[in-house]
Structures are given as structure tokens and as C-alpha cells.
Amino acid sequence: MTAADATAQALGLRVGMPVTKAQALVPGLVIEPADPKADAESLERLALWVLQRIAPIAAVDPPDGIVIDSTGADHLHRGEAAMLDALIGRLTLSGVSARAAIADTWGAAHALARYGADPVLIAMPGDSSDMLAPLPLEALRLSPAIPAGLRDLGFARIGDLIGQPRAPLTRRFGPELCRRLDQALGTSAEPVEPLRPKDMIEARRSFAEPIAAAETIARYIGKLVATLCEALETRGLGARRLDLLCHRVDNCVETVRIGLARPVRDPQRLTRLFCDKIETIDPGLGIEVMTLAATLAEPMTERQAASSLIEAPEPDLSGLIDTLANRVGARAIYRFAPVASDVPERSARRIPALAEVTGAGWPDHWPRPSRLLPRPEPIETMALLPDHPPNWISWRGVRRRVCRADGPERIFGEWWKRDAELVAVRDYFRIEDDAGERFWIFRTGDGEDGATGSHRWFLHGVFG
Amino acid sequence: MHERAISPAIAALRARIAQLEGDGARAREVLPFGVPSLDRKLPGGGLALGCLHEVAGGGNGAVDGAAAACFVAGIAARTQGKVLWCVAQQDLFAPGLEQAGLPPDRVIHVEAGDDKSTLACMEEGLRHGGLGAVVADIARLPMTASRRLHLAAKESGTIGLALRRWRRQAEASDFGQPTAAMTRWRISALPSRPLPVPGVGRARWLVELIRARAGESLDIELEACDGSGHLGLPADMADRPATAEGRRHNAAG
């Protein structure tokens, strides 16, 4: 047996068991013949998906892993933890169960993802050696004979090997052991060679002398973009995601990724987007090779311009959206669209800025505040139950007398979302204090039955 | 003011000042409020397009910026095209903006995270030229930044609206610092229109035009934006301006 899923393992099946034994343990067991070639192909497809969606440098780590160089990619996903969450979440949705770890080196991440206790693990910079120490020797990516030999000598964990004299180990087991150990601990470099599928459009330029000045980098970006756009044009494609890889003299790779809302192959626009990001490239001692790849390319759809004499052409905002998205992140630019929900915080959802015009709005029979607090703030009140507005409220230490009020507007919990909301009630009031300031407050509960809410008061929004 | 403008010496001086300001011969388009007493005081008869304008809330509004947001939404609603609204942290409620005249399909929100990025996004939006209006919630607006924004607005003809909003009331004194904005407004909430029955009527604001380049300042009491972004003149004031103040107090008490 070469692989067993979680259900199979719960039945007591283990990798390495003979098939006959497994069949004896579980009658009616379904056995699929192993197909390493198809596995490798599907792993490569998955790696390509990761390359397009997550980070500019991703590669296959055979037989069962994908390695990602997340430097310079995590901020696109708002941090490392958020990136791993999104990655694992999307893999789970498509039926792939995965474990992930972020560490200083490829070797350490490999070991922690496979032998760490948590399915999602982030090692702080510099912590890798401490976290590696309790792991078994197999975690070091060694050929199978070496861990067995080491165990004969009394080494059980990676921690036992750290700090041992290297010469006798190398003489006995060959150079592989110390190389793998150094790679895991970060004392020797191990660059990730990014996956490049056959049909990916790429432009590459190497320099006789390493370049470092911002102006020089900008000039060569312009040349690379022009070459790439020509290649895109011959295939009738436009770029949706572009990666610029700058290979430095000291064997580090600096990456810049830009995303576009619509397929684009306008050299000027693309050059400008890259030049905005030049300050994020650290040239170190100099850049010797620059590669520009269209990681995600889509067919360009030509759109008809307004031809009528009176019809004014709709201004094209996609250039602006791209510039802003590459500055603050694509998720920070959006439009709101209505959701059929009475609960205020659920009544709007965010849609992409360039999504089709929905034409829908919210029902406007009740006034709504222009500012909604991120979460309702508790206030002190004095109010007659069950359905009177408060006489006064005290919010953020200021007591206000309520002069006028409208309400209650009763909002029921959405029982189809959560059981806890089955009987939940909020009574909203719109109040005005003696200075003329208008607030949106609510009481949880209907004022009579304690099961409907705690009867505490909250301030939820401010009217203009 | 109009009578004085007719005098040839004044007209010549105005032309000279306009030339010094670098506006050239291009006549500036304006966006009238539709409230005659307000439009009359503004140079050109309305809010100049292709300029930067500053709006802040009065009192608590300096912190929550709710009335100012409605006022700005009303101005943006009356322009043509999409509106870019940049904030550091999102707390706008889209149904509320829709009731001030700005439907959700017209507004592109940008959540920039901090003041510096907000200013950069606003400038980018102003330079683009395809937008109807660009709004940004900003706390600090230094002279240099405001001049950049103003120039960007002037180049493209898009109206820029800086909604000044501070974390604490004490920081609102920053509003006294000079900026390159064309006009500066302060919107404070007033008790709403009295109704014959218990309830909250249409909101009223004290609209103060604190500063206007080549114009005069004023304060006026107006009714909040309706569903199309238009301000209203309170009925009691429209009928009897002289006694409006007294009536309001009677009604409120």
C-alpha cells in the first residue's frame, strides 16, 4: 500500500502494509492501483494553480508536496497566516486535504509540514532550529538507508544531530546528510526554481554587468514589457497577472507581482504599474537576470466603442482600478451591493469594483445612518419597557437627553443562518438629542421575553 | 457682490488674479446647490468643479463625520459618472449613502489603511479624469498635499472633496490650518424639522461656509439631502426669514 486517506487510516490501514493484509482487515475494501505518473501530473497542475493564485515562485516538491517562496507574496494576502488560511481553505473546498508550514528554509518548512503536530504552522524567523529539534530523522529528506543507519548509532531526533562533529558523519553516510542538515538550518542556500509551464509567455534579459540603479531597472522593465506585449499580441492574449523576477548576484530572487482587473497588453500601462513598485525591489549588490512572465493570461475581448453621436463613451476605469489595486491590494477596492437581509451588518456585501452594474438598491422606507460603527457599542439608558425609546442615553461617557425618537423597528434573527438566532430580536430606534445629533440605537430583546435577548442597549450608527 | 463685480476696475483686477492663479482663459464649470441664497454667495454661482473642497463636521461630527458624509454624498450624487470614495478604515453604511442620493453602483470604495495611502489614492483618482467626483476621509491635510490634490483636480476637471475627520475632538483645531482648497465647509447637525406628531422629522444642518477663495463666507440653516442629493431650504425660513430663528426655538422647546 502506498497511500491511505483519513477514513482508511481510521479503519487501521497503514502505508506500507501488504494489500492482502489490508483486505483481510477490511472486507470489501476498494483498492486503486498506484499511478505515480498521473500523481505527478496532477501535482504539477496544482502547483501551477498555486503559482497563478498565491505566489510568483512555486515549484513541485515531489512526491507529495509543493514548495512556495512566500517572500514578497504574503502581503498580497494580508499576512502569512491569512495566506495559509486562504490556501488551505480553497484546497479543502476542492477536495484536497493539505498541511502547510511556513519556515525560514525549504528544508525546515518541508519537515514541519509533514512531521509537525499542527496542520497549519508558522515558525517565527530564527525559530526553525528549535522547532526542528524534536522531529524524527526522516523529516530531513534523506535517502531511506541513512535514518536507519543513524538510529543504529543512537541518533533518534534531528536535535541529536545538531552540534555533532561533521567529519565522522560525512565519512560514514556521505555528503548528503550534512548538506540536508545545513539546508534545513539555513546555513547553505537552496533556491526554489519556479515552475514554468511550456506555454507560459516569458521575457528574459541577462546583463553583462549587474544593474542596481532605479532608473536602469525602470528602463529594462520597459524593454521587457515591450517584448512580452509583442508575444501576447501574436497569441491574442492579455495579461491578468504578471511576475517580475530579479535574480541578484548573491543568488536571491526579488519578486514583484502585479494583478490586473481585465486582460491588458498595453506596454505603457504595464510599465507604469511595475515602475510604481520599483522601490520594493532591493537590488543588493546588483541584479544580473530579469525575467518577466505572464503567469495568468486570458484572451482579450474587444469591446465596441460608443458610436452614436449623442451617446457619450463610458470612461474606462480599469486603468485606475489596477493602479489602486497594486498600491493597496485588490481586496481593498470594491463596491457595495445589497443583500436581502434585515440585519444591518449583513445587508451589504462587497463586489469587485468593475463588476456589472446591478441596479439594485435597499428598500428606503426607513432612514438609515451614513456611518455604521464597526461593532455596536454598549450604552447606558433609562427607558420604559417594552416599546418606548429611552429618556436619555450615555455613550462614550457623555450623557444625552433624548428629545425626539422614532421606532421601534423590529428586526428578527435569521434562524436559517444560526440556531442561536431563532428567537433573537433587535428593536431599533432613531433618536435625536437636544443638540440635534441623531443616533441609531437598538435594544436586544423584545422588552418582555428574556429569551429574545439580554435587553441591553447598543448604539449602532450615526445619522447625518 | 454682483453690483460690485460689474465695475470695470474690479473686473480687470479679477481677471488679473485669475491669470496669476494660473487658471488661464478657461471658464470654470460650477455645480449649483439649487439653493439660491447659498449659490448667490459662491463665486460663479455654485461649487467649482475641477477644484479641491474641504468639508468637516461640527461638534461631535468632527469625529464621526456623519453629517459631513451625507453633505459630500449629496454633492457627489449631482455630478456625472462614478465616484471614488477613499477611506482609511471603512465605516460608511451604503444604504445611508443611497438615501443621500448616491446609489451603490456609482461608488467605488477604496480602503487604503492609512492617511498617506488615502491621499495617494485620492490623487490618483483625481488625475484619472474619468470620475465624477473623488472623496477622501482624511485627518491631516498638509499644505503641500492639498496643493497637489488641487492641481490634480484642476488638470482633469474632477471635483475633489476632502472630508476632514479626526480621531479626537481636540485634534479638530487642525481645521484652522491653511490649505489650498477652494472652499471650506463645516456641517453641524441641528434639531430636525418639527413634526405635528411625535417622531424625528427631516434632518437639518447648520451649513457654514468658513472660507471661499474669491468669495464670502456665510452660515445658513438647511434641510439635509433628499434622495437625489439636493439640499432643502427650511419651509419656515423660506416663508419668513426674519422670524425663522425664533420659530425654531419655540418649536424645539
Distances, alpha carbon A199 to alpha carbons A60, A226, A240, A307, B31, in Å = 17, 19, 15, 37, 53
CB contact under 8 A, A324 and B110: yes
Lowest mean pLDDT among A216-225, B100-109, B227-236: B227-236
Residues A41 and A174 in one domain: yes
Q: Do A344 and B109 count as a contact with CB atoms less than 8 A apart?
A: no
Q: Nearest CA to B166 among B246, B16, B58, B12?
A: B58
Q: What local confidence, expressed as pLDDT, does residue A196 receive? A: 84
> Does the residue A348 lie in any domain?
no
The residue-averaged pLDDT of A285-298 equals: 90
pLDDT of residue B244: 42
| pLDDT at residue B7, as a whole number | 83
CATH assignment at residue B142? 3.40.50.300
pLDDT at B252: 38
**CB–CB of B156/B144 below 8 Å?**
no
Range in A70-74, A239-243, B197-201, B211-215 the model is least confident about:
A70-74
Q: What is the CATH number of the domain that holds A231?
A: 3.30.1490.100
Could you tell me the pLDDT band of residue A308, with boundaries at 50, 70 and 90?
low
DSSP string covering A5-42: -HHHHHTT--TT--HHHHHHHSTT---PPP-HHHHHHH
> Is residue A332 included in any domain, yes or no?
no
Minimum CA–CA partner of A78 in chain B: B113
Cβ-Cβ contacts under 8 Å for A410 (sequence gap 6 or more): A425, A426, A427, A428, A446
Distance between B191 CA and the closest CA of chain A, angstroms: 4
Q: What is the mean pLDDT of residues A422-448?
A: 91
Same domain, A108 and A149: yes
pLDDT over 70, % of chain A = 97
CB-count burial class (<10 Å; 0-12, 13-18, 19+) for B18: middle
Chain B contact for A272 (CB, 8 A cutoff): no
A223 shares a domain with A138? no
Cβ count within 10 A of residue B109 = 22
Q: How far is A321 from chain B (nearest CA, A)?
A: 9
- Is A326 contained in some domain? no
Q: Does A436 touch chain B (CB under 8 A)?
A: yes
Residue A6 sits in the same domain as residue A71: no
Residue A147 has pLDDT above 60, yes or no: yes
Supply the pLDDT for residue B214.
79
In a domain, B81, yes or no: yes
**Domains of chain B: total:** 1
What is the C-alpha to C-alpha distance for residues A456 and A385, in angstroms, rounded to an integer?
Answer: 12
A157 and A123 in a single domain? The answer is yes
How close, in Å, is residue B172 to chain A by CA atoms?
18
Residues A174 and A256 in one domain: no
Look up cell 553583462; give the residue.
A208
Handedness of CA A171, A177, A181, A186 (dihedral sign): positive
Q: What is the ipTM of this complex?
A: 0.84
Per the structure, the complete domain to which residue B208 belongs is given by: 27-252
What is the predicted pLDDT for the residue at B6? 65
Which residues, at least 6 apart from A139, have a Cβ–Cβ distance to it below 8 Å? A110, A111, A114, A115, A132, A158
Segment A160-218, tens digit of pLDDT: 888 888 898 899 888 888 888 888 888 888 888 888 888 888 899 999 999 999 999 99
Is A112 found in the same domain as A19?
no
In a domain, A353, yes or no: no
Asked if the C-beta of A390 comes within 8 angstroms of chain B's C-beta atoms, the answer is: no
User: How far off is chain B from A250, nearest CA to CA, in Å?
Assistant: 33
Instruction: Determine the Cα–Cα distance for residues B81 and A343; give it in Å rounded to an integer.
Output: 30
pLDDT grade, residue A143 (50/70/90)? confident
A277 part of a folded domain: yes
Question: Chain A partners of B94 at a C-beta cutoff of 8 Å?
Answer: 336, 338, 348, 362
**Cβ proximity of B231 and B74 under 8 Å:** yes
Domain of residue A13, residue span? 1-34
Q: Which residues of A touch B71 (CB under 8 A)?
A: 464
Asked if residue A360 is part of any domain, the answer here is no
Query: What is the model's pLDDT at position B239?
Result: 57
In a domain, B172, yes or no: yes
Do residue A15 and residue A156 come from a single domain?
A: no
pLDDT bin (cut points 50, 70, 90) of residue A407 is: confident
> Of A315, A368, A435, which has the smallest distance from its Cβ to B99's Cβ?
A368
Task: Give the A:B interface size as CB pairs under 8 Å.
Answer: 175
Q: Which of A353, A360, A437 sits opposite B189 (nearest CB)?
A: A437
Question: Is residue B225 situated within a structural domain?
Answer: yes
Q: How far apart are CA A210 and CA A249, in angstroms?
A: 7
- Please state, in angstroms and rounded to a whole number, the distance separating the CA atoms of residues A234 and A230: 6
Closest residue of A to B195, CA-based? A404
Instruction: Kindly state whether residue A76 falls inside one of the protein's structural domains.
Output: yes
Sign (positive or negative) of CA dihedral A68, A70, A73, A74: positive
Q: Does the pLDDT of residue B195 top 50, yes or no?
A: yes
Please indicate if any CB of chain B lies within 8 Å of the CB of A321: yes
Exposed/middle/buried for B37, CB within 10 Å: 0-12, 13-18, 19+? middle
Structural domain count of chain A: 4
In a domain, B6, yes or no: no
pLDDT at A447: 83
- Percentage of chain B surpassing pLDDT 90? 52
pLDDT surpasses 90 at A283: no
Q: How distant is the Cα of B5 from the closest Cα of chain A, in angstroms?
A: 36
Residue in B with minimal Cα distance to A464: B67
Residue-wise pLDDT for B111-125, tens only, equals 998 899 999 999 999
C-alpha cell, A83: 495566506
Q: For residues A367 and A372, what is the distance between their CA atoms, to the nearest angstrom?
A: 13
Confidence of residue B253 (pLDDT cuts 50, 70, 90): very low
Confidence of residue B242 (pLDDT cuts 50, 70, 90): very low
Tell if the CB–CB gap between B190 and A406 is shorter than 8 Å: no
Residue A14 lies in a domain: yes
Mean pLDDT of all residues in A357-372: 88
What is the separation of C-alpha B8 from the centre of its chain, rounded to a whole number of angstroms? 32
Q: Over 90: is that where the pLDDT of B133 sits?
A: yes
pLDDT value at B238 more than 80: no
Residue B14 pLDDT grade (very low, low, confident, very high; cuts 50, 70, 90):
confident
- pLDDT bucket at B247, cuts 50 / 70 / 90: very low
d(CA A277, CA A214) in angstroms, rounded, equals 10
Residues B51, B184: Cα–Cα separation, whole Å: 12
Residue in chain A closest to B92 (alpha carbons) equals A371
C-beta atoms of A327 and B98 within 8 A: no
Domain final residue pick, A283, A299, A315 = A299
The H or E element that residue A91 is part of is: helix A80-93
pLDDT higher than 50, residue B249 = no
DSSP letters, A135-200, are: SBGGGG---THHHHHHHHTT--BHHHHTTS-HHHHHHHH-HHHHHHHHHHHTSS---------TT-
Report the C-alpha dihedral over residues A202, A203, A204, A207, rounded to 10 degrees: -170
Any residues with CB less than 8 A from the CB of A335 and at least 6 apart, and which?
Answer: A350, A351, A352, A353, A355, B104, B105, B107, B108, B109
* Amino acid present at A315: P
The answer to whether the CB atoms of A327 and B107 lie below 8 A apart is no
B109·A435 Cβ contact <8 A: no
What average pLDDT score do residues A156-163 get? 86
Per-residue pLDDT tens for A258-271? 888 888 888 998 99
pLDDT of A8 above 70: yes
